[in-house]
Amino acid sequence: MPADPEVYCSERLARSYACDRPPIHPAIWDRIAAADPGGIDVGSALDVGCGAGASSRALAAHADRVTGIDLSAEMLGHAQSALPGMAFVRASAQALPFDAATFDLVAAAGALNYCEPSVAVSEMARVLRPGGRFVAYDFATGRPGRDATRAAPCFASFRRHFPPLPGYALDLQGLPYDRCALELFSYERFDVQATMTAAAYVDYIAGETSVEAAVADGMDDSEARRICAEIFTPLFDGAAREVHFAAMFALARKRGGD
């Protein structure tokens, strides 16, 4: 069952995505670019599920023109403010408002969990030019430090206070590439790091969808942040720490190009 995208129709969450997320997308795009021997830089690109614009900003390093789509008007408002030179459209991944063969590259960053993947991938392949690139990528919640044993009780406590929302598991290798005239040619799992203080990490983790759901259900935002700080601040020992994000991407080309 897909996750519910309505959780993102929140000004609180949109502000968090605009202001409190570490710069993970550029590092992932560096890995994607290195995996494509033909080169990933293109003329036109579509960012499906662009959110507050962080993924679109990173994609702009590899495309002359970027168009972002998202269902959340709140997210799109922040994206447009941050990136006024880009085009942003409120639309669904399952019904893209573009002609066939419009884009050289179509990317979806953590967006396929929120729709029927077979429908969305078919739509993305439709608007992709022959020989163009399809990219799907995602990354897990960042974990401070390398000591998984020490962090595990903290995340168990976090999940007790803020139960995960259903519907997030997605196998990027198992998408219907062949049925959509796509050929998967690269898949990687890797680690991305960002240096964060305890305060910055609390701001970030308070923007997780499970925390947003608790606030939407009546928990005071300051109480949610207090709980997050109580759980995770001890992991930082009074200093900035490396936060590790388990990332993955799948890279495919559309049949019919040179």
Which residue segments constitute the domains of the chain, with CATH numbers given? 5-144+167-195+242-254 (3.40.50.150)
When pLDDT is averaged across residues 213-240 and rounded to a whole number, the result is 97
> Residue 136 in contact with residue 83, Cβ under 8 Å?
no
Beta bridge partners of 135: 107, 251
Distances (CA, A) of 206 to 39, 47, 50, 99, 113: 37, 25, 20, 39, 21
Residue 167 has pLDDT above 80, yes or no: no
For 136-153, what is the mean pLDDT?
Answer: 92
Tokens 């019904």 belong to 95
**% of residues, the chain, pLDDT over 90:** 88
Q: Give 235-248 pLDDT, tens digit per residue.
A: 999 999 999 999 99
The pTM for the full model equals: 0.95
Helix 221-232 / helix 198-205 crossing angle, nearest 10 deg: 130
Q: Would the pLDDT of 187 be above 70?
A: yes
Residue 90 bridge partners (DSSP): 70
